Amino acid sequence: MKPAQRAQNLPPVFFAALNKRIAELRAEGADVIRLDIGSPDLPPDARLVETLKNSADNPTKHSYGGYAGQPHLRKAIIDYYQQRFGVQLSQSELLPLIGSKEGLVNMHLAWLDPGDLSLVPDPCYSSYLYAPLLAGGRAETFDLLPERGWLPNLADIPTETAKAARMLWLNYPNNPTGGVATLDFFAEAVDFCRQFDILLCHDAPYSDLTFDGHVAPSVLEVPGAKDVAVEFNSLSKTYSLAGWRVGMAVGYAVAVQALATVKTQIDSGIALPIQDMAADALTGDQSWLEPRNAIYQARRDLCLAAFDNLGLEATRPQGGIYIWFRTPPGYSAMDFHVRLLEEAHLSLTPGTVYGHNGAGWMRLSLVIGTERLEEALNRIKTIMN
C-alpha cells in the first residue's frame, strides 16, 4: 500500500526535522535557545484563563460547539471588526475557525478545482505555497523585495497569469519580513483582484501586534473589498492564545459560506469554553495589549542595536514578532542556521524556508525574555568572530 499522491507531493516540514535535531542536542546536555518558531512566550491576560476555567467547569459546556460558532462569539467578531477597523460585517460574512491556519488551508478546498492557480508571495508562510496541492491546484509566486518595503508590485504579474488565477494571498504585518501595508496598497490589491476576478485572501494574525505607533489596517476597510476579499484573523498572536486554536474568516460572503460548507465535512466546531474565552478576548478589556506590545518592541530594539553593532543588515519591523536580517558575508541561510545550531546551540529559521527570496536572510523570533535574548545575540557575535 502507498499514501495518496497529494501526501507524497508535500515536501518534508523543516520544523519536524529541526525538532528532532534539537531534541538530540538537548539529550546530550546542550543548552539550545529556540528563536525559530513564532509562538508567543508572554502569557494571555489572566482574565481570559479565568473565563476558560469557569466555562470548563460548567457541565453544559462539553457538547459540540456548532459549525457556525455560538451567537455570542459571532457577535464578538462583529463588534471587534466594527470597533477596531470600522468594518461592518453581516452574519453571512463571518465564520469562526479552529485557528486561522485550518481556515486558510480549507479555503483552498472551497475555492480551487484541480489545476486551478493560486498566486502567493515569495517569501511567505509555507501553507500558502503548499495548501493548493491539497486541492489539486498549483501555486505561482510573486516577489516581495526589500527595496519596495516587502510590498509586491502587482503590475509585474503577467496578464495571462492574472487571468488564470483564482486566488491571491497577502499577509500584513508580514511573516517573515515584518513589512507592513497601507490602506492605499490594499486598495490597489482590491482593484487588481476585481479586474481579474480573483479571490483576495489576506492573512492578518499580527494586525494588533504592532510597534512605533503603527496601526495596521484591514483590507476590508477598502470600499468594495467585501466583494472580492476574505480576511483571516487569529487570537494566537494578539492574545497569546496560540495553542487554543481560535480564529476567524471574514469578508466576501460567497467565499466565507463556501468555506463553511467544506468545514461541515471536516470538523465539528470550536470547543465551547474556548468560544467563551475568545468572545471575552475580543470584546473585553484591551488595555493589557499596549504594555505587552511594548515588551516585544523593546526586544526588537535590542536586536536591531546588536545587529547594527555586528554590521548585519536587518529590517525594522513595525509589526509581528520577528526580526528579518541578512546573513553574514560568505554564508548561505542554511549554512548559517546549521553553524548557529551545531556550534552555538542557537536555533533561528533560515530564510529559504519561506521561499527563494529568503535566500541570504534569517528569521529571529522575539519570543524569549531579555536575559536569554541577550545570550542569543552574544552567541551570534561569537560565531561571527
Which overall architecture, per CATH, does domain 60-283 show? 3-Layer(aba) Sandwich (3.40)
Instruction: Please state the domain extents for the chain.
Output: 5-44+288-384, 60-283
Cis peptide before 44 (omega within 30 of 0): no
Residue 261: partners with Cβ closer than 8 Å, 6 or more residues away: 110
For β-strands 229-234 and 199-203, DSSP reports them as: parallel
**What separation, in Å, do the N-terminal and C-terminal C-alpha atoms of the chain show?**
52
The whole-number pLDDT of residue 191 equals 98
Residue 27 binned pLDDT confidence (cut-offs 50, 70, 90): very high
Q: Is 306 left (phi over 0), alpha (psi -120 to 50) or beta?
A: alpha
Please check whether residue 35 is in contact with residue 348, taking contact to mean a CB–CB distance below 8 angstroms: yes
Give SS3 for 364: strand
Residue 13 binned pLDDT confidence (cut-offs 50, 70, 90): confident
Share of the chain above pLDDT 70, in %: 100
Q: What is the mean pLDDT of residues 143-152?
A: 96
Residue 11 binned pLDDT confidence (cut-offs 50, 70, 90): confident
Q: What is the mean pLDDT of residues 60-70?
A: 95
The whole-number pLDDT of residue 10 equals 84
- Residue that the C-alpha cell 495571462 belongs to: 160
The whole-number pLDDT of residue 67 equals 95
Give SS3 for 373: helix
DSSP secondary structure, 240-260, as one string: T-GGG--EEEEE-HHHHHHHH
The whole-number pLDDT of residue 169 equals 99
Q: What is the mean pLDDT of residues 190-217?
A: 97
Q: What is the mean pLDDT of residues 264-292?
A: 95
CA distances from 260 to 106, 129, 166, 309 (A): 9, 22, 18, 50
d(C-alpha 119, C-alpha 341), whole Å: 33
Tens of pLDDT, residue by residue over 263-276, are: 999 999 999 999 99
d(C-alpha 55, C-alpha 68), whole Å: 19
Please check whether residue 323 is in contact with residue 317, taking contact to mean a CB–CB distance below 8 angstroms: yes
Residue 261 binned pLDDT confidence (cut-offs 50, 70, 90): very high
pTM: 0.95
Q: Domain 5-44+288-384 adopts which CATH fold? A: Aspartate Aminotransferase, domain 1 (3.90.1150)
Examine the pLDDT at 5 and tell me if it is beyond 90.
no
d(C-alpha 270, C-alpha 98), whole Å: 6
The whole-number pLDDT of residue 385 equals 84
Question: What mean pLDDT, rounded, does the chain reach?
Answer: 96
Examine the pLDDT at 1 and tell me if it is beyond 90.
yes
For β-strands 199-203 and 33-34, DSSP reports them as: unpaired
Residue 8 binned pLDDT confidence (cut-offs 50, 70, 90): confident
Please check whether residue 237 is in contact with residue 40, taking contact to mean a CB–CB distance below 8 angstroms: yes
Q: What is the mean pLDDT of residues 86-110?
A: 97
Examine the pLDDT at 9 and tell me if it is beyond 90.
no
d(C-alpha 283, C-alpha 83), whole Å: 9
CA-derived radius of gyration, the chain: 21
For β-strands 94-97 and 138-143, DSSP reports them as: unpaired
Q: What is the mean pLDDT of residues 128-156?
A: 96
Residue 12 binned pLDDT confidence (cut-offs 50, 70, 90): confident
Tens of pLDDT, residue by residue over 154-202, are: 999 999 999 999 999 999 999 999 999 999 999 999 999 999 999 999 9
Q: What is the mean pLDDT of residues 308-334?
A: 96
The whole-number pLDDT of residue 158 equals 97
Q: What is the mean pLDDT of residues 239-247?
A: 93
